[in-house]
Amino acid sequence: GTEGDTAETEDRARRFVAARVNGQLTELWKTVRTDAEVEFITAGDRDGRRIYERGLLFVLVKSVNDLYSREEVEGLAVECAVGDGIFCTIRGARVVDDAFAAKVKARMQELIRMDIRFEKHSVSTAEAVRRFEEQHFTDKVDLFRYRLVSNTNIYKLGNLYDYFYGY
């Protein structure tokens, strides 16, 4: 192959957000150890778009948590989809203005450049509640206190844990 072929292959690989191995969605970092049918998922696919959106939401949550104290920003809530966008609200004393948005956007871009891997952890529901209590995610603590299953998947980005329904 040529240098151009290598660059094109690397560019295509960066667009993948997940894989379907023998029909099962899986993270890209997982090793396939047996013969399998593998289909790569991009943000252009239905599942890929949802995975990509949740990844961006996680980067948004981490950015806000990195930049502002709990006194300034009590929480961030994902309210609903609006067209191709997602409507979120910020609770707390901090005014959400152009300066706030610019600072959060810059932190999000910095985190993306750092290329930190999203880590999926299967933990007991009690462990998930403990982690969310440590992070003062009261809405998730309240939600998980009534969860009937004994284990759940939570995700980690850097030092932040979160839960995303569905993917």
Checking if the pLDDT of 19 tops 60, the result is: yes
What three-state secondary structure class fits 99? Answer: helix
C-alpha to C-alpha distance for 93 and 71, rounded to whole angstroms: 7
Given a cut of 80, whether residue 8 has pLDDT beyond it is no
CA distance 50 to 40: 15
Question: Whole-model pTM?
Answer: 0.82
Give residue 102's pLDDT: 97
- Which tokens hold the place of 31? 């090793």
Kindly state the DSSP code that residue 117 receives in the 8-state scheme: P
Q: For residues 154 and 118, what is the distance between their CA atoms, to the nearest angstrom?
A: 10
Q: Measure the CA dihedral 100/104/110/115, to 10°.
A: 180
Residue pair 60/66 in contact (Cβ under 8 Å)? The answer is no
Per residue in 41-59, pLDDT (tens digit) is 998 898 998 889 999 999 9
Residue 133, token pair as written in the block: 């209590």
